[in-house]
Amino acid sequence: MMQSCSFCKNKNIKNTKVEYTYKHDGKYMIFHNVPALQCEYCGEKYFEAKVLKQIEKEFISVQLGKKTPKERSVAVEDFDKLVA
Ligand SMILES: [Zn+2]
Protein backbone atom coordinates (compact mmCIF):
# COMPACT_ATOMS: atom_id res chain seq x y z
CA MET A 1 0.00 0.00 0.00
CA MET A 2 1.27 3.46 -0.88
CA GLN A 3 2.15 5.91 1.86
CA SER A 4 2.02 9.09 -0.18
CA CYS A 5 1.82 10.46 -3.71
CA SER A 6 5.25 10.54 -5.34
CA PHE A 7 4.44 13.83 -7.10
CA CYS A 8 2.85 16.03 -4.44
CA LYS A 9 3.48 13.95 -1.28
CA ASN A 10 -0.18 14.12 -0.34
CA LYS A 11 -1.13 11.20 1.91
CA ASN A 12 -4.77 10.87 0.87
CA ILE A 13 -4.72 8.13 -1.71
CA LYS A 14 -8.03 6.52 -2.59
CA ASN A 15 -8.95 3.24 -4.21
CA THR A 16 -10.88 3.91 -7.35
CA LYS A 17 -11.70 2.65 -10.83
CA VAL A 18 -10.65 4.61 -13.87
CA GLU A 19 -10.49 4.54 -17.62
CA TYR A 20 -7.13 3.46 -18.98
CA THR A 21 -5.94 3.93 -22.54
CA TYR A 22 -3.30 1.49 -23.65
CA LYS A 23 -1.16 2.60 -26.61
CA HIS A 24 1.22 0.46 -28.56
CA ASP A 25 2.56 0.84 -32.10
CA GLY A 26 -0.06 3.47 -32.97
CA LYS A 27 -2.89 1.22 -31.79
CA TYR A 28 -5.16 2.11 -28.91
CA MET A 29 -7.31 0.13 -26.58
CA ILE A 30 -9.53 1.61 -23.89
CA PHE A 31 -10.26 -0.24 -20.67
CA HIS A 32 -13.07 0.85 -18.37
CA ASN A 33 -13.22 0.18 -14.63
CA VAL A 34 -9.51 -0.40 -14.13
CA PRO A 35 -8.65 -0.58 -10.42
CA ALA A 36 -6.23 2.18 -9.45
CA LEU A 37 -4.99 4.23 -6.56
CA GLN A 38 -5.52 7.92 -7.09
CA CYS A 39 -4.10 10.91 -5.26
CA GLU A 40 -6.98 13.03 -3.96
CA TYR A 41 -4.96 16.19 -4.35
CA CYS A 42 -3.28 16.12 -7.77
CA GLY A 43 -5.22 13.27 -9.36
CA GLU A 44 -2.14 11.21 -10.22
CA LYS A 45 -3.06 7.56 -10.78
CA TYR A 46 -1.11 4.51 -9.75
CA PHE A 47 -1.65 1.02 -11.10
CA GLU A 48 -0.49 -2.28 -9.74
CA ALA A 49 2.00 -4.13 -11.92
CA LYS A 50 -0.34 -7.13 -12.19
CA VAL A 51 -3.12 -4.86 -13.52
CA LEU A 52 -0.81 -3.42 -16.18
CA LYS A 53 0.36 -6.91 -17.15
CA GLN A 54 -3.23 -8.07 -17.55
CA ILE A 55 -4.02 -5.06 -19.76
CA GLU A 56 -1.00 -5.78 -21.93
CA LYS A 57 -1.97 -9.45 -22.21
CA GLU A 58 -5.52 -8.55 -23.23
CA PHE A 59 -4.24 -6.04 -25.80
CA ILE A 60 -2.10 -8.77 -27.38
CA SER A 61 -5.05 -11.21 -27.46
CA VAL A 62 -7.14 -8.60 -29.26
CA GLN A 63 -4.31 -7.94 -31.74
CA LEU A 64 -4.26 -11.67 -32.40
CA GLY A 65 -7.95 -11.63 -33.24
CA LYS A 66 -9.88 -11.90 -29.98
CA LYS A 67 -13.21 -10.09 -30.28
CA THR A 68 -13.99 -7.34 -27.78
CA PRO A 69 -17.57 -6.60 -26.68
CA LYS A 70 -17.38 -2.99 -27.89
CA GLU A 71 -15.52 -1.23 -30.63
CA ARG A 72 -15.66 2.41 -31.53
CA SER A 73 -13.89 4.71 -33.90
CA VAL A 74 -11.88 7.56 -32.45
CA ALA A 75 -11.58 11.07 -33.90
CA VAL A 76 -7.98 12.19 -34.38
CA GLU A 77 -6.74 15.70 -35.09
CA ASP A 78 -3.38 17.40 -35.23
CA PHE A 79 -3.59 20.34 -32.83
CA ASP A 80 -0.99 22.30 -34.82
CA LYS A 81 -3.41 22.45 -37.72
CA LEU A 82 -6.22 23.93 -35.60
CA VAL A 83 -4.21 27.00 -34.65
CA ALA A 84 -3.90 29.55 -37.43
ZN1 LIG B 1 -0.52 13.83 -5.69
Give the distance (Å) from ligand 1 centre to CA of residue 73: 33
Give the distance (Å) from ligand 1 centre to CA of residue 4: 8
Q: How confident is residue 30, by pLDDT bands cut at 50, 70 and 90?
A: very high
pLDDT at 3: 83
Q: Which residues surround ligand 1, an ion (CB under 5 A)?
A: 5, 7-8, 10, 39, 41-42, 44
By C-alpha distance, which of 41, 62, 58, 47 is closest to 17?
47
* Structural domains in the chain, sorted by start: 13-81 (3.10.20)
Dihedrals φ, ψ of 43, to 5°? 85, 0
Name residues whose C-beta falls within 8 Å of residue 27's C-beta, 6 or more positions apart in sequence.
59, 63
Strand order in the sheet with 13-24: 13-24, 27-39, 45-46
Q: How confident is residue 1, by pLDDT bands cut at 50, 70 and 90?
A: low
What mean pLDDT is predicted for residues 8-19? 96
pLDDT exceeding 90 applies to what percent of the chain? 83
By C-alpha distance, which of 57, 50, 48, 46 is closest to 22?
57
